[in-house]
Chains A and B, each alone.
Chain A
Amino acid sequence: MAIRVQLDRILAERRMSLTELADRVGVTVANLSILKTGKARAVRFSTLDALCRELDCQPGDLLAHEPGPGDAFDTAED
C-alpha cells in the first residue's frame, strides 16, 4: 500500500501517547496500532475527522503517498 500514515511523527510532535489519542478519538488502541503500522486497508472519514480534530492537523499532515515499484500491481487480497 502506497499510503503511509505518519501518526508516529505527529504524536511525537504533540507529545501524545497512542493510548491517549485512542481515548480521545474513540477508537481502540489495537485499531490505532493497525493504522500506525500501515496494516489498515481503509480509513473512515469520521475517523480521519476525529484524528485531525484531536491532533490539530490536516489530513495531508497525517497521510502521505509514497509509490513503490510494485504498488501498481497491488491486489485487494492479502
Chain B
Amino acid sequence: MHLPKLASIGIRAPRLTGGNLRTPNLRTLGPGSVSSLLKIALDVAYILLALITGVLLLLWVASVFIPLDNLNVTVTDGDNGRQIPLTRPLLLFGVGAMTAYFGGFLMILRGLRKIFRTLTLGDPFQPDNVRRLRQIGLILAVVTGGVWVAQGLVAARLAPGVMEPQGVSDLLTPVFSILVVFVLAEVFREGARLRRESELTI
C-alpha cells in the first residue's frame, strides 16, 4: 500500500536539520558540568563529614572522663519519650555509635572521591576502583547492619514500648543499594579487564 506524499495532500513537514534541533543545555564535562557539580558535592560532603566525625571522636574520648552525676537522657521516637539515667557505658555506646556511623560514611566518601579522581584523569576502569567499590559496599553493609542492631538494642533494652525496632522491610532499600554497589564493582572489574586488553592491543 502506498501512502500519499505529504506535499500532494497539502501538508508541509518541518525540516529537522541541525539548526532546528536544540540539545539540552547541560554539559557533562568542564566547568559547570554534571561532573564538576558532583565533584563539588563530594568535596563539601567530605569536609562536613570529616568535621562532624572529628568532633564526635573528641567527644567520645572526652566521654571517658566527664562526670555524669545525676544526668538523664530522653529516649524518644518523636511522640513518646522516656527518661533514663545516663551511665558511662550508655554515653560511650551512644557517642561511639554516632562516630562509627558518620565515620563509615566518611570512608565511603573517601573511596568515592578517589574513584572520581580516576574518572577526571580519564582512566576509571582500574583494578583499584573495583577494590574501592567493594569496600564501599562492605562499609554500607556494616553501617546498615549496625544501625539495625543498635536501634534494636535501644528499643529492646533502653526504651521498650517507646521506640520500635527496625523491621526487615526497613532494610529493603539499603540492601538494594548494597547490591547495586557490588554489581557496579563487577562491571568495573570487567571494564578493567577490557582496559587491560585494550592496552595490550598494539
Contact = CB atoms under 8 A, between A and B. Distances in A.
Interface of A: 27, 31-32, 34-35, 39-44, 47, 76-78
Given A34-B200, A43-B202, 6 more contacts: A32-B202, A40-B201, A42-B197, A42-B200, A76-B197, A77-B193
Nearest to A35: B202
Contact of B202 (A47, A76, A77): A47
B196 interface: yes
A31 B202 contact: yes
A41 B201 CA distance: 6
A27 B202 contact: yes
Nearest to B197: A41
A32 to B, nearest CB: 7
A41 B200 contact: yes
A20 to B, nearest CB: 17
A47 to B, nearest CB: 5
26 contacts: A27-B202, A31-B202, A32-B202, A34-B200, A34-B202, A35-B202, A39-B200, A40-B200, A40-B201, A40-B202, A41-B197, A41-B200, A41-B201, A42-B197, A42-B200, A42-B201, A42-B202, A43-B201, A43-B202, A44-B201, A44-B202, A47-B202, A76-B193, A76-B197, A77-B193, A78-B196
A76 B193 CA distance: 9
Contacts of B193: 76-77
Interface string B167-196: 000000000000000000000000001001
Contacts of B197: 41-42, 76
B21 to A, nearest CB: 34
Contacts of B202: 27, 31-32, 34-35, 40, 42-44, 47
A35 B193 CA distance: 19
Contacts of A27: 202
Nearest to B194: A76
A41 B200 CA distance: 5
Contacts of A77: 193
Contacts of A39: 200
B200 to A, nearest CB: 4
A27 B193 CA distance: 22
A33 to B, nearest CB: 10
Nearest to A33: B202
Contacts of A78: 196
Contacts of A76: 193, 197
User: Which of B193, B200, B202: most chain A Cβ within 10 A?
Assistant: B202
Nearest to B200: A41
